[in-house]
């Protein structure tokens, strides 16, 4: 069983902080892109899948007709009867009752909505095109359309934001009672308007905000199951958890990553080129057939690299951890013993887990195993 990720690299407008691969929505280009995605998906007709994630970019920017065409095709190509989680990412301004109704009818059972900030002035600062009222109505429609598994994406550590303001905003978000929360510290990415305008962030304040979130969310019944993710019990994301378990998945769409038969790959991130190559695809192929012409990067994951990745990813899952059997080389064993001694890692039967007090220095810890 595989996961299926589909990338929709279109947005109405680029946010000032974002360097994810996406371009401005254009109806003609998106029509062609949807056709290309369908051709690409057809290559995997015989694969069994158990989760789908349609992300972006902004998947909800697609028109009702484009969405319907894509979802209908997925339904025809794949047997969706064993898909237990089907997530769709929404931006508040492009959410509508009709789109949500369509998603529901095609089996989408989890939504991820990008709120990003609570105050309108912070949303403006981030270059978002929605305001808090638009988010409230999108969320309200989603609940009215009976979506009972919703994630909210939120960022913290915005310039000038204080820990007190963050705590107040987080408590406001808790009033929505979403099943899942993803919280990300604002990072300044090269080439973004924030980078070009020398916007700064403060690591120490971001750390205090993270600690505050850990405390507030624990006392409100959320399980902290991954470094940046909290969920009500049993609402942890199945699809995303499988990335962290290092399971294989199909990646469809320009710029999307995938991982199949021990090969990690990245599709061409030029939309016109992606469309052109997809138009040449024929029949059902294995990953190593025609599909490789769609890839711009691929890497074979041999046993040693697999174990290193499994450690790096597994340690992100705070309650599951990484399998102790992956720490089998002399070097990894030595580092593991050091980390157990200085208590940055803990062992629980076969699971090696990150100690809660050291989550914020996760990157420094995993670097030791690379």
309 binds, among ligand SF4, ligand SAM, none (CB under 5 to 8 A by kind): none
187 binds, among ligand SAM, ligand SF4, none (CB under 5 to 8 A by kind): ligand SAM
116 — alpha (psi -120 to 50), left (phi > 0) or beta? left
For ligand SAM, which residue of 189, 338, 342, 350 counts as binding (CB under 6 A)? 189
Residue in 92, 75, 66, 193 with CA at minimum distance from that of residue 150: 92
Toward ligand SAM, which CB reaches closer, 201 or 284? 201
8 — alpha (psi -120 to 50), left (phi > 0) or beta? beta
Binding stretches for ligand SF4 (CB under 6 A): 11, 14-15, 18, 20, 22, 56-58, 91, 114
Residue position matching structure tokens 């909800």: 60
44 binds, among ligand SF4, ligand SAM, none (CB under 5 to 8 A by kind): none
14 binds, among ligand SAM, ligand SF4, none (CB under 5 to 8 A by kind): ligand SF4
18 binds ligand SAM (CB under 6 A): yes
Helix, strand, coil shares, percent, the chain, to 5: 45, 20, 35
- SS3 call for 249: strand
CB of 329 to ligand SF4, least distance (A): 39
58 binds ligand SAM (CB under 6 A): yes
247 binds, among ligand SF4, ligand SAM, none (CB under 5 to 8 A by kind): none
Toward ligand SAM, which CB reaches closer, 102 or 113? 113
Cβ 89 vs Cβ 59: under 8 Å: yes
Toward ligand SF4, which CB reaches closer, 52 or 61? 61
CA atoms within 13 A on the CB side of 60: 23
What is the Rg, in whole angstroms, of the alpha carbon atoms belonging to the chain?
21
Euclidean distance between CA atoms 214 and 216, whole angstroms: 6
In sequence order, the 6+-apart residues with CB closer than 8 A to the CB of 208 are: 163
By CB under 6 A, the residues from 234 to 263 that bind ligand SAM are none
For ligand SAM, which residue of 1, 12, 14, 20 counts as binding (CB under 6 A)? 20
Toward ligand SAM, which CB reaches closer, 17 or 369? 17
Stretch that binds ligand SAM, among 27-35, 53-61, 66-74, 206-214 (CB under 6 A): 53-61
Residue in 6, 179, 150, 147 with CA at minimum distance from that of residue 78: 6
In sequence order, the 6+-apart residues with CB closer than 8 A to the CB of 142 are: 90, 95, 100, 111, 113, 150
For ligand SAM, which residue of 47, 66, 116, 237 counts as binding (CB under 6 A)? 116
207 binds, among ligand SF4, ligand SAM, none (CB under 5 to 8 A by kind): none
Interface with ligand SAM (CB under 6 A): 17-18, 20, 56-58, 89, 91, 114, 116, 153, 155, 184, 186-187, 189
């Amino acid at each position: 069983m595989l996961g299926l990720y589909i990338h929709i690299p279109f947005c109405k407008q680029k946010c000032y902080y974002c360097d994810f691969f996406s371009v401005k929505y254009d109806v003609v280009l998106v029509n062609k892109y949807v056709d290309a995605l369908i051709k690409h998906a057809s290559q995997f007709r015989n694969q069994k899948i158990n989760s789908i994630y349609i992300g972006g970019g902004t998947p909800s920017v697609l028109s009702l007709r484009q969405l319907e065409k894509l979802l209908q095709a997925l339904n025809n190509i794949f047997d969706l009867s064993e898909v237990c989680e089907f997530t769709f990412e929404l931006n508040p301004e492009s959410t509508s009752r009709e789109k949500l109704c369509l998603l529901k009818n095609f089996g989408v059972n989890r939504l991820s909505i990008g709120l990003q900030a609570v105050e309108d002035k912070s949303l403006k600062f981030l270059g978002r095109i929605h305001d808090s009222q638009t988010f409230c109505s999108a969320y309200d429609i989603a609940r009215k359309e009976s979506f009972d598994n919703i994630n909210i994406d939120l960022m913290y550590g915005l310039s000038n934001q204080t820990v007190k303001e963050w705590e107040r905003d987080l408590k406001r978000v808790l009033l929505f009672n979403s099943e899942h929360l993803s919280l990300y510290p604002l990072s300044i990415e090269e080439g973004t308007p924030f980078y070009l305008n020398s916007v700064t962030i403060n690591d120490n304040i971001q750390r205090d905000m993270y600690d505050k979130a850990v405390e507030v969310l624990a006392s409100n019944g959320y399980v902290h199951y991954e470094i940046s993710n909290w969920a009500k019990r049993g609402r942890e994301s199945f699809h995303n958890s499988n990335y962290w378990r290092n399971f294989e998945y199909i990646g469809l769409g320009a710029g999307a990553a995938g991982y199949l038969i021990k090969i990690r790959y990245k599709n061409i991130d030029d939309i016109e080129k992606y469309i052109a190559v997809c138009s040449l695809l024929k029949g059902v192929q294995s990953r190593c057939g025609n599909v490789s012409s769609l890839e711009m990067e691929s890497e074979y994951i041999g046993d040693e690299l697999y174990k290193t990745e499994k450690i790096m990813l597994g340690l992100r899952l705070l309650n599951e951890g990484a399998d102790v059997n992956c720490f089998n080389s002399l070097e990894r064993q030595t580092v593991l013993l050091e980390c157990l001694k200085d208590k940055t890692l803990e062992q629980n039967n076969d699971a090696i887990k990150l100690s809660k007090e050291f989550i914020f220095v996760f990157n420094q810890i995993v670097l030791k195993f690379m």
